[in-house]
Structure 1
Amino acid sequence: MLSVIVLTGIHFTLVFSQSRESAVREDIPLDSIRLSDPFILADKNTGMYYMTGTGGMLWKSKDLKKWSGPFHLAKTDSKSWMGESPMIWAAELHHYKAKYYYFATFTNRDIKIDTVKGNVIERRACHVLVSDKPEGPYVPMGDPEYLPANKPTLDGTFWVDDDGKPYMVYCYEWLQNWNGTIEKIELKPDLSGTIGESKLLFRASDSPWSRERDEKGNIVPNKVTDGPWLFRTQTGKLGMLWTSWVFSDYTQGVAYSASGTLDGPWIHEEEPVTPANYGHGMMFKTFDGKHLMVVHSHSVGENGRYIRVPTLFEVDDSGDKLVLGSRF
């Protein structure tokens, strides 16, 4: 039983990947898995790699080459704002103070919160679940909401800053503000809720590399912020991966904090850090000491649907700035 949870009268729903069940498969190569927003936890306690992402399912591997899954791992309260079968985007797994935490974006398509420029915006927000084990089950904690109900937020990630406090760093979605932001909000010590108000870190328009055309055909900064991930180089430099678009190419950039803390100011690199059509990345260290970045590739199928496959790159973080290496 989880010591940080006291719940009574709550009806749990096992959350399925976009409401579809999938049969568990064994010995699947990484490049045979379709998955957006991949996240890999290298768990020293179990000696296993755990991968999740959009859809919220779990894959397991001992060597990063052959994977088993997908497994269901999240349970939500069907009576909460999420409803019975929320969509799950960009799930992450974090080990912190002897617990495992599931950061994810949940969408209840039955609740509409706004309409902007003809776009109906559904109830979508970052939330955190908890478990004693990396494979779950992950269940709700104290706060029914982490972020304001009237704002669409997504891609929440976890960071403990120099002040020793835990934070969620997330995107306020461009669909409502038309200039996406990345923001931070303090978390309670056990991550069971948020404290105070959020703070702006930067806007999509601050990027020197992301581009799109406006309604008149003019080239302007892209409005999308997506997939923040915090890291420190081996020299102690605080950086953030984040993803946007360069016209039709889904692309990832990197920014560095001049102060060395989340408060920035954040200085953006002039050019993307990944090749075109690779993005929403995070980094981890393998059990044999290699530094890797996992991203998803991005292409469009004949039916117009996105095709996204997890891809590993070696990275060099020995200096003040991240250097992307060859595919792993």
Structure 2
Amino acid sequence: MRKKILLILALCLCNLMLVQAQNSEPALRIDIPIDSIRLSDPFILADKNSSTYYMTGTGGKLWKSKDLRKWTGPYTVAQPDPKSWMGPNPMIWAAEIHHYNGKYYYFATFTNKAVRVGNNLERRASHILVSDKPDGPYVPMADPIYMPADKLTLDATLWTDTDGKSYMIYCHEWLQNDNGTIEKIELKPDFSGTVGEGKILFLASDSPWSREKEKDGKDRPNKVTDGPWLFRTKTGKLGMLWTSWIYDVYTQGVAYSQSGTLDGPWIQEKEPVNGPNFGHGMLFRTFDGKLLMSIHSHKSINNRTVRIPHLFEVDDSGDKITVGKAFK
């Protein structure tokens, strides 16, 4: 009996240690090259106030760097309300940090796997947290939701249009509508909630370059819209990076607004803006004025797909951007 009790206690102790290990913070890593970091949807904020680059993305962790070459992290910065619709441990996708009017805003996709909507799909939505500092902690604001509870949205970003109003730009999930969209919705002046309803900017099927197969074997545009990012060239042209697939290859394209506003119409470029196997890019300017694209690629390691962040130089001197050599 004594041996049995000791065995049970030992098993309980092992289980407790396993739970603690799963919930513990990952070990801090110092001076890590960017291509040694495993990260989807890498977003980089060049924060002039702290003279520091902050990189985040899917997973909700944060990395810091002074020179874009050596990074320290990962840090946990998001503190969503466990009593909210997100639940106690939401998945975090495609996080972005935007500095606006003295505050730092954390745009991200949160998924609650325990709640189902529509055709038994996990509840997933774009949402915003706020902080006084770039490295958080990021906490909830006034409105408990930004998007309708039954609408699957993802990959939100920020844009202030020519009307002076700020908008959340996001994707409506193709799993729900069978033809992914990129949409806009107006934000309250302090970003604490949204105003009105979303408006479609364009459809996945507008793409001339993406591809997938119909059941009869014919080609059609891919259904996926992913990773919108807006920019203006030095000539004032409004553009948008976004990502889809060419069959099984993740690929990024670009569209340009004919009106110079979010309302478009959006004219899709005929060819992808990057080579194959790169997607979910964004643009930022370094402290010395160089325009870079942060983007990730896919790689199979030991039969497991990992995503690796990369930096590329970008020329925006004309009406259209061109992606150049890798940043080193």
TM (norm. structure 2) is 0.92
- TM superposition shift of 1:218: 1.1
Match of 2:28 in 1: 24
Match of 2:118 in 1: 114
- TM superposition shift of 1:20: 6.8
Cα separation, 2, equivalents of 1:228 and 1:201: 11
- TM superposition shift of 1:261: 0.3
Contact 2:299–2:308 (8 Å) recurs in 1: no
- TM superposition shift of 1:19: 6.4
Cα separation, 2, equivalents of 1:21 and 1:227: 28
- TM superposition shift of 1:302: 4.0
Q: Secondary structure at the match of 2:261?
A: coil
Q: Indicate the structure with greater helix content.
A: 2
Q: Secondary structure at the match of 1:272?
A: coil
Q: Secondary structure at the match of 2:118?
A: strand
Q: Secondary structure at the match of 1:134?
A: coil
Q: Secondary structure at the match of 1:139?
A: coil
Match of 1:37 in 2: 41
CA displacement, residues 116-161 of structure 1 (integer Å, 9 cap, x when unaligned): xxxx310000000000000000000010000011011000000000
Match of 1:169 in 2: 169
Cα separation, 1, equivalents of 2:276 and 2:25: 32
Query: C-alpha root-mean-square deviation of aligned residues, in Å?
Result: 1.1
TM (norm. structure 1) is 0.92
Overall identity of the aligned pairs, in %: 71
The structure-2 alpha-carbon separation of the partners of 1:20 and 1:177, relative to structure 1 and needing over 3 Å to count, comes to farther
Match of 1:67 in 2: 71
Contact 1:19–1:85 (8 Å) recurs in 2: no
Match of 1:233 in 2: 233
Moved over 2 A (4+): 18-21, 299-303
- TM superposition shift of 1:21: 3.4
Cα separation, 1, equivalents of 2:155 and 2:273: 19
Cα separation, 2, equivalents of 1:299 and 1:153: 26
Please tell me whether Structure 1 or Structure 2 has the larger radius of gyration of its CA atoms: 2
What amino acid does structure 2 have at the position aligned with 1:132?
A: D
Write out aligned runs for 1:123-202 (5 A): 123-202=123-202
Match of 2:106 in 1: 102
Cα separation, 2, equivalents of 1:34 and 1:114: 32
Q: Secondary structure at the match of 1:77?
A: coil
- TM superposition shift of 1:22: 1.3
Contact 2:229–2:240 (8 Å) recurs in 1: yes
Q: Secondary structure at the match of 1:308?
A: strand
Match of 2:88 in 1: 84
Structure 1: stretches of 5+ with no match in the other structure = 1-17
Match of 1:306 in 2: 305
Write out aligned runs for 1:268-287 (5 A): 268-287=268-287
Aligned length: 306
Q: Secondary structure at the match of 2:46?
A: strand
CA displacement, residues 263-288 of structure 1 (integer Å, 9 cap, x when unaligned): 00000000000110001000000001
Structure 2: stretches of 5+ with no match in the other structure = 1-21
Match of 2:7 in 1: none
